[in-house]
Structures are given as C-alpha cells and as structure tokens.
Structure 1
Amino acid sequence: MKKLLVTFSLVALMFLSSVVKAADIVFIDVQTIVNNSKAGKDAQRLLEEAGKKAQEEVEAKQKTLKQDQKSQEEFQAFAIQKQQEVLKRRDELLSQFMNMVQQSLEKFAKEKNYSLIIDKQAVLYGKPELDKTQEFLTYFDSQYEKGPKIK
C-alpha cells in the first residue's frame, strides 16, 4: 500500500510538472526596453533637457559672479542645488517609466499567458525562443502611444 501511494504521488508530481510548461516562463532584456522604447527615449530626452537647462543656469550665474569668498560659496550652493534638481528629475522620470513598464508587463503576461517573466540579466542560460524582448518592445511601444506620455 505504501509503494502504491509513493508511486501515485510520483505520477501526480510528473503530471503537475508537465502542466507548468517552460514556455510559461520567458525573459526580457529590460535594458533594451529602457534604451530602445519610445517611452525610454522620451525619458532620456527629458532628462537631457533638464540637465542642459540646469547647466545653462549655472553658467549664466557663473558669468555674473564676483570674485569674493561669499559669492563663491553662494555659487557652489547654487550649483549643488541645480545638480540635486536634475537628480530628482531623473528619479521622477525613472519612476514613471518603470511604472509604465510594470503595468505593460502585467498586461503582456496575461495576454500571452506567461506565468513568469524574468529580466534577461538574471538568466544564466535560456533558449533564444524564450527571449521575448522584441515582442514586448513592440507591445510596450504600442501601449505607450495609446496611453499617457512621460512628462
């Protein structure tokens, strides 16, 4: 009886493992999505604009700078403030972008019936057909064009 129970358990385990197919697990190169998606390019452009604007403000302030110690300290504080504003903007853009990616990944996984999507950087080996980066990039871009934009 015990052997029969063990045999039944093994058969049930093999059946369950065959239900969870490897095709339900895919991977995506998130860095490719960041670099090549429309949303990622918009975020990068906005960050560059913020950095350029801050740099122009710092350079304009530097031209009007007096050569005394107090002016130097004020200028340094101003430059640090501008740098912090750019870093804050970067964090805001990154947060917006990653929220969009996460929402699209969830929709994509449901539509494609994927159980698990892993970042390609965490994959030691994966069959090339499990790499869904380009498919998700196309999907993500189409979702981005329909929805709210990064701002």
Structure 2
Amino acid sequence: MKKFVAVLSVFLLMALSMIVKAADIVFIDVQAVVNNSKAGKDAQALLEEAGKKAQAEVEAKQKTLKQDQKSQEEFQAFAIQKQQEVLKRRDELLGQFMKLVQDNLESFAKEKNYSLIVGKQAVLYGKPELDKTKEFLNYFDSKYEKGPKIK
C-alpha cells in the first residue's frame, strides 16, 4: 500500500509538472502585430511612401518620353529599376520590423516566464486564454515608443 501511494504521488507530481509546463506555452497572431502595432504601421507608411515616390518618378519620366524604340527600352529599364528599389526598401523595412518583433518577443517571454511562443497561424487549437496577442501588442507598442524606430 505504501508503495502504491508513493508511485501515485510520483505520477501526480509528474502530471502536475506537465500541466505547469503547458501553461508556459502561448501563441501570438503575428499578422495582427504587423497590422496593428505602431512599428508595423510605421513600416507600412514608409513602404507606401517609397512606392508613391517611385511611381511619381516613373510617371514623370514617361511624360518626357520620346516615341522611338531606344527611349521605350530606356523607360522600361528605368521602371524596372524603380520597382527593384521599392522591393529592396520593402525587404529593409521587413528586416527592421522583424528584428524589433523578435527582440521584443524574447524580452516579453522572459518577463512573463514563457518557455515557448508560437505563431497563431501554426496553432490548430489553443485555448483562448493562451492567445497573448493583445498583451504582446501593448507591450510591443510601449517599448517601440521608448526605443528605436523603423526608418
């Protein structure tokens, strides 16, 4: 009987530790962070601004275009160059943004004592209380206001 109680106690402790560990796992909707965070909105605005500037340059160049074959080829090369510049800018902004998110996720996880944060898109099922998107969004925005900005 004593052996049974001892084995049962060990089993219950193991089960309890598994439950506690499961609470260390949360998920965050990264797309919501991109769309709703101050840093995400700044990055989107900067990308939109770069796109509009490139579009204006292409349109201005098109107005001065002669109708010969060489001018058409030069214009196409110019338009492709501007498109590549916008794509490069998008990659730069995305890199800056994702670095900010990653750094903040790490500090958020340490502060909240989370062992694992998973993207919501990868979660097939999760209890609503494990969704920490709003909490992280508030944390991320407050750190962004005080720290480095997307440029």
Q: Which residue of 1 aligns with 2:122?
A: 122
In 2 relative to 1, CA 120–65 (structure 1 residues): closer, same or farther, beyond 3 Å?
same
**Distance in 2, Cα, partners of 1:110 & 1:16:** 24
Q: Which residue of 1 aligns with 2:51?
A: 51
**Distance in 2, Cα, partners of 1:17 & 1:89:** 50
> Is 1:33 aligned to residue 64 of structure 2?
no
How far is 1:15 from its partner?
3.2
TM-score, normalised via structure 2 length: 0.90
Question: Alpha-carbon deviations, 1:113-148, whole Å to 9, x = none?
Answer: 000000000000000000000000000000100101
Q: Which residue of 1 aligns with 2:96?
A: 96
**Distance in 1, Cα, partners of 2:49 & 2:110:** 36
Q: Which amino acid aligns with 1:60?
A: A
Q: Which amino acid aligns with 2:106?
A: E
Instruction: Mark the runs of 5 or more structure 1 residues left unpaired by the alignment.
Output: none
Helix, strand or coil for the counterpart of 1:72?
A: helix
How far is 1:12 from its partner?
5.3
How far is 1:23 from its partner?
1.4
Q: Which residue of 1 aligns with 2:83?
A: 83
Once superposed, which parts of structure 1, at least 4 consecutive aligned residues long, lie more than 3 Å away? 10-17
Percent same amino acid among aligned pairs?
Answer: 80
Aligned length: 145
How far is 1:19 from its partner?
2.2
In 2 relative to 1, CA 90–17 (structure 1 residues): closer, same or farther, beyond 3 Å?
farther
Question: Alpha-carbon deviations, 1:20-77, whole Å to 9, x = none?
Answer: 4221000000000000000000000000000000000000000000000000000000
RMSD in angstroms over aligned alpha carbons?
A: 1.7
**Distance in 2, Cα, partners of 1:80 & 1:27:** 40
How far is 1:17 from its partner?
4.9
TM-score, normalised via structure 1 length: 0.90
Instruction: Mark the runs of 5 or more structure 2 residues left unpaired by the alignment.
Output: none
